[in-house]
Amino acid sequence: MTMRLDYLSIFPGYFDVLDISLLGKAVDNGLVEVHAHDLRDWTHDRHRTVDDTPCGGGAGMVMKPDPWGEAFDGIIGIEPDPSVHVIFPTPSGIPFTQSAAQELSTVERVVFCCGRYEGIDHRVIDYARTMWTVHELSLGDYVLNGGEVAALAITEAVVRLIPGFMGNPESLAEESFSPGQERLLEYPLFTRPVSWRGMDVPEVLMSGHHGRIAEWRREESLLLTRDRRPDLTD
Ligand X SMILES: O=C(OCc1ccccc1)c1cn[nH]c1
- Min. distance of Cβ 22 from ligand X in angstroms? 22
- Where along the sequence are the contacts to ligand X (CB under 6 A)? 89-91, 115, 119, 138-140, 142-144, 146-147, 150
**Judged by CB, which is closer to ligand X: 31, or 149?**
149
Of the candidates 106, 102, 118, 232, the residue with the CA atom closest to the CA atom of residue 154: 102
**Judged by CB, which is closer to ligand X: 68, or 216?**
68
Cα 8 to Cα 60, 138, 205, 214, distances in angstroms: 21, 17, 48, 46
How far apart are alpha carbons 21 and 200 in whole angstroms?
A: 32
- 8 close to 111: Cβ distance less than 8 angstroms: yes
Could you count the other beta carbons within 10 Å of the beta carbon of residue 104?
22
**Is 198 marked as a binding-site residue?**
no
**Is 115 marked as a binding-site residue?**
yes
- Min. distance of Cβ 197 from ligand X in angstroms? 37
**Is 31 marked as a binding-site residue?**
no
**Judged by CB, which is closer to ligand X: 63, or 162?**
63
**Is 223 marked as a binding-site residue?**
no
**Judged by CB, which is closer to ligand X: 12, or 89?**
89
**Is 142 marked as a binding-site residue?**
yes
- Min. distance of Cβ 200 from ligand X in angstroms? 40
How far apart are alpha carbons 9 and 40 in whole angstroms?
A: 8
- Min. distance of Cβ 126 from ligand X in angstroms? 15
Of the candidates 71, 53, 61, the residue with the CA atom closest to the CA atom of residue 128: 71
**Judged by CB, which is closer to ligand X: 11, or 190?**
11
How far apart are alpha carbons 142 and 2 in whole angstroms?
A: 33
- Min. distance of Cβ 41 from ligand X in angstroms? 20
Residues belonging to the binding site are 115, 139-144
Residues belonging to the binding site for S-adenosyl-L-methionine are 115, 139-144
